[in-house]
Structure 1
Amino acid sequence: MKKLVVGITAPGSVILIAGQLRYFKELGYETYLMAPNHPRVTAYCQQEGCIHLPVALEREISPIKDLKALFQVLKHLRKVKPDVVNFGTPKVSLLGMIAAKMVGVKNRIYTCRGFRFEHEKGIKKTILVSMEKITASFAHQVICISNSVRTVGIENAIFSPEKSQVIYKGSSNGIDLERFNPNRVTAVEKAILKKELGLTDATFVYGFVGRLIDRKGIKELYDAFLNLYSNNDSLRLLLVGPVEHSQLSDATLFEKMNNHPGILVVGTQLNVPLYLSIMDVFCLPAWWEGFGNVSVQAAAMGLPVIATDVTGSKDAVSNGFNGLLLPAKSTAALQEAMQLFYNDEAIRKQFGLNGLEWAKHFESKRIWDAMNQLYQNQ
């Protein structure tokens, strides 16, 4: 029986590997998740039937804590003796690849989910690039979750074209098309939620799912909606996801969104398909992504998508087919696209139908089967 260790840095990243370890357990692997101690991680391991390998990890650079974490990772790997490791997200990948190399793990895979250095400057950027180069150098194979991420990695000499690959059209885990299926949401469920949120059938809803932070373009989305609402107060903006105040440059933005009569801030929700089902247009004006998973989830629910023509984000949308790709940080372009979809019902419906076809490229099992082929290599 092959032993597989998958690693993530932050507890919230369990959503990036939903269903994955259960699938590999069903294939006969002995599965482990290396991640911090957290209720979300505990719940994931129970649901997926994997063994938790706890490690205290910091997202930011912290030399003393990182050294302690490296010894924890080494201890786990020496005890488990895995045949395959697959680490994703920067910190656990760096420490995990170093430790896996030291203990002689035969198959070391780095899942590159994007680059934090893209919008950094100076010494911090230099350090982050160096960390990525070390991680990639210790990996046998690098899985890039989008073609644009792979391009950035090659251009910055982090890894070679020969060492890196993208599985099909991208994404790290694929999309659960059974869960993100508009036919699985009943009319009664939608009616109850709309009533709770004060929405009528005539209300037009723009939607967003993700962390409420600068990098996701939340300020541009707020400003664009504000302008549209000033001319049409029947519009609504539905924001699903947690706020991270430390990553909002405008300390008053969350309060302004929360108090705006046209904006519904509902926090993190477990039933994302239900919330997507009451939206008319999905918006993700991110500055960069690893891969815009939620854009594909929205497409799978039959929504037209407005996203940005930037790393990771542009791979998740077929421009002019199921969505529109805009310049990042452009409130004017975002407002124009939002207005277009409001005005043109025919385009809105056609893009929504096209999204159902687009999403089929990202079905989870296709991604996992391709991973399994890599895991079989020695």
Structure 2
Amino acid sequence: MRELIAAGWDVHLVTDPSDGFERLRDIAGLTLHALPMKRPPAPLHDLRSLMRWRRLLKSLRPDVVVAGTPKAGLLGMLAARMQGVQTRVYHLRGLRYEGLSGLSRFISLRMEHLTASRATVLLCDAPSMRAAVIASGLAGAERTIVLGAGSACGVELDRFHLPTNDERQEARELFDISPAAFVIGFVGRITEDKGIAELLRAAAAVHAAHPQVVLLLVGPIEEPHGLDAEELLLLGEAWVRTLGYLQEPSAAYRAMDIYCLPSHREGFPISPLEAMASGLPIVSTDATGCIDAVRPGITGLVVPVRDTAKLTEALLSIVENPELGKEMGIQGRAWVSADFDSRQVTRNFIAYMTSLISEQGTTPTGSAA
């Protein structure tokens, strides 16, 4: 948002007045609009929110509306279409229905169809997401786009960097991890759809073969987490370190030897990019989004979703061949530097937004909501 403002855009941010809202006031030049929205379906509340959206857009008269997340996307695209906003961008950061089944999946998919039908373009964070959007019939190829190699924000390469030996030692000391340990790491929500059950079981098998292995989990434990009794017991093992949420995870990456994201679904996950920028090999899945965040056999290894046995094999292959992991880490840093530098990702977004406005015959100084 700061970069859009610096480029001359009049940026208006419409968001639910939840935690973190006040911190956004620190962004110079940004106009904030608090608009209550509920994440789960709430027909009466949603209708009131839609009316508020319409009144706001009628007052702002923006040249373009960009909306993301399922509920804000639905309400924002509906209201923008009703108010005749010419350029309506639905920014897809994930496909919620991929993690659902039965009636819940049907309803979620229908809502996505409704949102997509009101958008003029669907901006997808990852190539595999764009393919899934087209395959599901949400939109055709002509209304979907991925900018560059993908990613919503890229990586700050100065913040996430190859650690020196001293930085690595300091990180190990900070988290009370032995210098001799081999650390498998994860950063994200501790919950079922992140593949935590498979990770715990696979890491337990690897630890049984190589007792120096430590599992480092960085992130909050969500409720409901979907873990069974055995998996919860594994969380309490001495070789498993759970740190909770870290506002600054860069030190955690410096303590790791492998980064593992066995997620069932993603948009374009940022954590593997941060890990590669920190020189780590990646073990991930072939889920939507995840597959775009690793170059199989070059920057890491890819396994099928929910396949604990294959995940165990992949982790073992790097634990037992650390030179392979180091080479993958070097290749990963080079790839991230070339394709996912946050400055270039931002430039790509601003250039695309400017091109949309140019097609309207106006200037990029209009309002964006």
> TM exceeds 0.5?
yes
Contiguous gaps of at least 5 residues in structure 1: 1-20
**Residue of structure 2 aligned with 1:348, choices 325, 328, 331:** 325
Contact kept? 2:167, 2:254, Cα under 8 Å: no
For structure 1, which segment, 264-273 or 173-182, has the greater mean C-alpha deviation from structure 2 after superposition? 173-182
Contact kept? 1:206, 1:238, Cα under 8 Å: yes
Q: Distance in 2 between matches of 1:259 and 1:23?
A: 44
Q: Residue type matched to 1:300 in 2?
A: A
**Residue of structure 2 aligned with 1:65, choices 45, 66, 75:** 45
Q: Distance in 1 between matches of 2:237 and 2:220?
A: 17
Query: Residue in 2 aligned with 1:322?
Result: 299
3-state SS of paired residue (2:292): coil
**Residue of structure 2 aligned with 1:150, choices 119, 130, 147:** 130
Query: Residue in 2 aligned with 1:122?
Result: 102
Query: Residue in 1 aligned with 2:190?
Result: 212
Q: Distance in 2 between matches of 1:168 and 1:196?
A: 37
3-state SS of paired residue (1:162): helix
3-state SS of paired residue (1:369): helix
CA shift, 1:49, in A, is 4.8
Contact kept? 2:154, 2:273, Cα under 8 Å: no
**Residue of structure 2 aligned with 1:265, choices 234, 242, 254:** 242
| Equivalences, count | 355
* Closer, same or farther: CA 367–193 of 1 in aligned 2, 3 Å: closer
* Closer, same or farther: CA 44–341 of 1 in aligned 2, 3 Å: farther
Q: Residue type matched to 1:334 in 2?
A: L
CA shift, 1:45, in A, is 4.0
Contact kept? 1:107, 1:375, Cα under 8 Å: no
Contact kept? 1:219, 1:253, Cα under 8 Å: no
Q: Distance in 2 between matches of 1:319 and 1:97?
A: 37
2:235 counterpart of 1:237: no
Query: Residue in 2 aligned with 1:110?
Result: 90
* Closer, same or farther: CA 38–252 of 1 in aligned 2, 3 Å: farther
Query: Residue in 1 aligned with 2:201?
Result: 223
Query: Residue in 2 aligned with 1:13?
Result: none
Contact kept? 1:291, 1:313, Cα under 8 Å: yes
2:23 counterpart of 1:43: yes
Q: Residue type matched to 2:315 in 1?
A: M
* Closer, same or farther: CA 36–253 of 1 in aligned 2, 3 Å: farther
Q: Residue type matched to 1:114 in 2?
A: G
Q: Residue type matched to 1:224 in 2?
A: A
2:262 counterpart of 1:285: yes
Query: Residue in 1 aligned with 2:71?
Result: 91
After the TM superposition, which residues 179-218 of structure 1 pair with which residues of structure 2 at under 5 Å, given as runs? 179-182=159-162, 190-218=168-196
**Residue of structure 1 aligned with 2:335, choices 358, 366, 374:** 358
Contact kept? 1:257, 1:265, Cα under 8 Å: no
- For residues 53-84 of structure 1, give each alpha carbon's deviation from its aligned partner in whole angstroms, at most 9, with x where no partner exists: 11222222221221122122223222322222
CA shift, 1:191, in A, is 3.8
Contiguous gaps of at least 5 residues in structure 2: 361-369
* Closer, same or farther: CA 353–188 of 1 in aligned 2, 3 Å: closer
- Higher RCO (C-alpha under 8 Å, 6+ residues apart): 2
TM-score normalised by L of structure 2 = 0.91
State the identity as a percent: 32
Q: Distance in 1 between matches of 2:212 and 2:317?
A: 16
Query: Residue in 2 aligned with 1:294?
Result: 271
Q: Distance in 2 between matches of 1:251 and 1:68?
A: 40
Query: Residue in 1 aligned with 2:316?
Result: 339
* Closer, same or farther: CA 173–217 of 1 in aligned 2, 3 Å: same
Q: Distance in 2 between matches of 1:71 and 1:124?
A: 26
Q: Distance in 1 between matches of 2:162 and 2:2?
A: 25
Q: Residue type matched to 1:170 in 2?
A: G
CA shift, 1:216, in A, is 0.6
CA shift, 1:92, in A, is 0.3
CA root-mean-square deviation: 1.9
- For residues 226-284 of structure 1, give each alpha carbon's deviation from its aligned partner in whole angstroms, at most 9, with x where no partner exists: 122223332111111111122x2236477534421011111111111111111000000
TM-score normalised by L of structure 1 = 0.89
Query: Residue in 2 aligned with 1:15?
Result: none
CA shift, 1:32, in A, is 2.2
